[in-house]
Chains A and B, each alone.
Chain A
Amino acid sequence: QKEVEQDPGPLSVPEGAIVSLNCTYSNSAFQYFMWYRQYSRKGPELLMYTYSSGNKEDGRFTAQVDKSSKYISLFIRDSQPSDSATYLCAMSPNYAGGTSYGKLTFGQGTILTVHP
């Protein structure tokens, strides 16, 4: 079993739809939860991150973390064709007091297409 599971899709939705992307994980030590968006032939772009539990909102994007269920979500409201990309969830422990770098564990990525 992988440490982080993410449905690879592909996911195809009409413009304006609400998109829900999810990841589950098994490592209780994870404290930082990230969502990256990767366009074709580009590097992953940090979209949002959350520390520990809770929700975070940024414009049309909302990230949720439920540590009791080991489940994280990214919601995209009013989806646009420009949101078409691969979305990667990634997680790491809190390294405070330990190492000075953060090793990420990625999900497999979900390919999203928003059609006009």
Chain B
Amino acid sequence: DTEVTQTPKHLVMGMTNKKSLKCEQHMGHRAMYWYKQKAKKPPELMFVYSYEKLSINESVPSRFSPECPNSSLLNLHLHALQPEDSALYLCASSRERTGIQHFGDGTRLSIL
């Protein structure tokens, strides 16, 4: 079992739907990350939160909206997604000042 928990595991949505992905960690890490991963590719960074503040947005389209309600939780709100957004969405967390990140098992997202 991973120490970073993501829900749901699978999500199928239409292009007009609004949905949210959730991530939770209880390791006391103060940095949290969202990644997108396509088949046979490494994870691609989307957002970084540090001490609950957005630190990095890697030029992600506005149809993806992150939120960090507290130091243990991270959400990714989805709206009006495109078929090319179908991918595995991964959440990760790390201690301050290291790149040693721990990943969840991801949400497999399919856009119809």
Q: Measuring CB to CB, which residues of chain A are less than 8 angstroms from any residue of chain B?
A: 8, 32, 34, 36, 41-46, 49, 88, 90-104, 106-109, 111
What is the bound-complex CA distance between A32 and B41, given in angstroms? 21
B98: chain A residues at CB < 8 Å are 32, 92, 94-95, 102
Instruction: Give the chain A neighbours of B101 by CB distance below 8 A.
Output: 34, 46, 90, 102, 104
Residues of A within 8 A of B30 (CB): 100
11 contacts between A and B (CB under 8 A): A34-B99, A44-B90, A44-B103, A92-B100, A95-B97, A101-B55, A101-B56, A102-B97, A104-B45, A109-B41, A109-B42
Number of A-B contacts (CB under 8 A): 90
Using A43-B106, A106-B43 as known contacts, say yes or no to A101 and B94 having CB atoms under 8 A apart: yes
Q: Is B2 among interface residues, defined by CB-CB distance under 8 A? A: yes
Secondary structure of the A contact surface, majority rule: loop
**Contact status B103-A32, CB under 8 Å:** no
- Does B21 interact with chain A (Cβ within 8 Å)? no
A38 to B75, CA, bound (A): 23
Tell me the B4-34 residues at the A interface (CB within 8 Å): 4, 6, 30-31, 33
* A42-B106, A109-B40 given; A103·B99 CB < 8 A: yes
Indicate which residue in A32, A90, A100 contacts B96 across the interface (CB closer than 8 Å): A100
Q: B110 at the A/B interface (Cβ < 8 Å)? A: no
B contact residues around A45 at 8 Å (CB): 2, 103
Q: How far is the CA of A34 from the CA of B88 in the complex (A)?
A: 21
CB distance from B93 to the nearest CB of A (A): 10
Q: How far is the CA of A92 from the CA of B102 in the complex (A)?
A: 14
Q: Does B108 contact A (CB under 8 A)?
A: yes
Interchain CB contact under 8 A, B43 and A102: no
The answer to whether B102 and A46 touch across the interface, beta carbons within 8 angstroms, is yes
- CB within 8 Å for A32 and B99 given contacts A103-B48, A109-B42: yes
Which residues 22-75 of B have a CB within 8 angstroms of A?
30-31, 33, 40-43, 45, 48-51, 55-56
